[in-house]
Homo-oligomer: A and B are copies of this chain.
């Protein structure tokens, strides 16, 4: 997945054209236009004990995978509160430009936003460590860290800097490793590789000698086809299939070491949150838990089917990064991430907590989930019905 400032706004879309239109719309909106747009929507209203809130997402409305969790969140808040609190969902750019969603929530223009933590790294650097870290925790571990490893408290501390309450509200799981027109046989092959890969993953590829570029989504397929870039990452089989990237690249690499568990955030204006009654707070917390599971469940089910389609219908060549490459990238990731965290006390506090949880998680995964996956992947035939 991608994360960027509003200028190179890159938030995924099923269709290049649709996405390009969206980006254009989002990036050409001026601050003045924003103010007009904001004022043209009704302010939150409270009548007969019934509140109306507005939530803007950073992605287009109903965007597959990333956007459906926000819809479920709003739906369950309205249903569970019997209309005491209803949340209207707006796509990126509908109230303010997509990447000004946080400003709109921080300032109280709207009450809620839905996006990904690393979109806000320009405001508070530590948010990028809440999102997903190269070779860090996977979704299962990240959720456990949030609930039992002190993660929720740290995330709330980070979002306090933005004037917001934080909830995890979706997860992509391990992403795809990216679409390549050059083979990666050794770490040397990254030298001079022109790759579109944003965020921390991009910093690691840079450290490996790569020539990292940022492109809006719609420009990726032609750039890949023409050789202007050698490789790009996107999300995973579900979104990548819909985006048609298999038409422009020879190889689909795995695993997505750069984004093992990209978390989606629901951020709520802190004053709006603090003003809620306890029942509405409980409803929002459980509805976010529902959305958090719903999104990764949707990704897993659709990635399952989409990978099957990519390989068996479109003949995509799937390749694993060789272990020495992954080992080398892992070491570079440690260096890059450690340096970034050392420069910012709050980032460091988050990373120290995650690193501690990660150390035990690696040992336990080797005993449990990892070992089970490997055992289940052995050649035996299971049930034949």
Q: Tell me whether B378 and A149 are in contact (CB under 8 A).
A: no
Interface of A is mostly: helix
Interface string of A338-351 (1 = CB under 8 A from B): 10011000001001
Partner of A334, one of B296, B363, B382: B382
> For residue A298, which residues in chain B have a CB less than 8 angstroms away from its CB?
144, 147-148
Q: Tell me whether A366 and B370 are in contact (CB under 8 A).
A: no
Does A160 count as interface, using CB distance less than 8 angstroms? Answer: no
If A360-B304, A364-B300 touch, whether A328 touches B380 (CB-CB below 8 Å) is yes
Q: Tell me whether A348 and B385 are in contact (CB under 8 A).
A: yes
Chain A residues 366 to 385 lying within 8 A of chain B, measured CB to CB, are 366-385
Q: Tell me whether A148 and B375 are in contact (CB under 8 A).
A: no
Partner of A79, one of B173, B282, B321, B373: B282
Chain A residues 184 to 238 lying within 8 A of chain B, measured CB to CB, are 236-237
Stretch at the interface among A30-38, A94-102, A243-251, A286-294: A286-294
Does A272 count as interface, using CB distance less than 8 angstroms? Answer: no
Residue pairs across A and B with Cβ atoms less than 8 A apart, 7 shown, are A237-B364, A255-B367, A255-B371, A286-B286, A307-B363, A326-B375, A327-B379
> For residue A364, which residues in chain B have a CB less than 8 angstroms away from its CB?
237, 300, 303-304, 307
A279 to B342, CA, bound (A): 48
If A286-B289, A289-B290, A370-B374 touch, whether A308 touches B363 (CB-CB below 8 Å) is yes
Q: Tell me whether B302 and A148 are in contact (CB under 8 A).
A: yes
Stretch at the interface among A110-118, A132-140, A262-270: A132-140
A interface with B by C-beta (< 8 Å): 76, 79-82, 135, 138-141, 143-149, 173-176, 236-237, 254-257, 260, 277-279, 281-283, 285-287, 289-290, 292-294, 296-298, 300-305, 307-308, 311, 318, 320-321, 323, 326-328, 330-331, 333-334, 337-338, 341-342, 348, 351-352, 355, 357-358, 360-385
Q: Tell me whether A334 and B297 are in contact (CB under 8 A).
A: no
A326 to B254, CA, bound (A): 25
A383 to B341, CA, bound (A): 10
A178 to chain B, nearest CB (A): 12
Residue picked from A176, A302, A375, most chain B C-beta under 10 Å: A375
If A373-B370, A380-B330 touch, whether A279 touches B80 (CB-CB below 8 Å) is yes
Q: Tell me whether A338 and B384 are in contact (CB under 8 A).
A: yes
Q: Tell me whether B148 and A378 are in contact (CB under 8 A).
A: no
Q: Tell me whether B140 and A296 are in contact (CB under 8 A).
A: yes
A375 to chain B, nearest CB (A): 4
Q: Tell me whether B144 and A371 are in contact (CB under 8 A).
A: no
Q: Tell me whether B377 and A255 are in contact (CB under 8 A).
A: no
Partner of A143, one of B236, B297, B304: B297
Q: Tell me whether A334 and B380 are in contact (CB under 8 A).
A: yes
Q: Which residue of B lies closest to A379 (CB)?
A: B327
Q: Which residue of B lies closest to A261 (CB)?
A: B372
Q: Tell me whether B148 and A368 are in contact (CB under 8 A).
A: no
Q: Tell me whether B377 and A297 are in contact (CB under 8 A).
A: no
If A82-B277, A338-B385, A385-B341 touch, whether A378 touches B327 (CB-CB below 8 Å) is yes
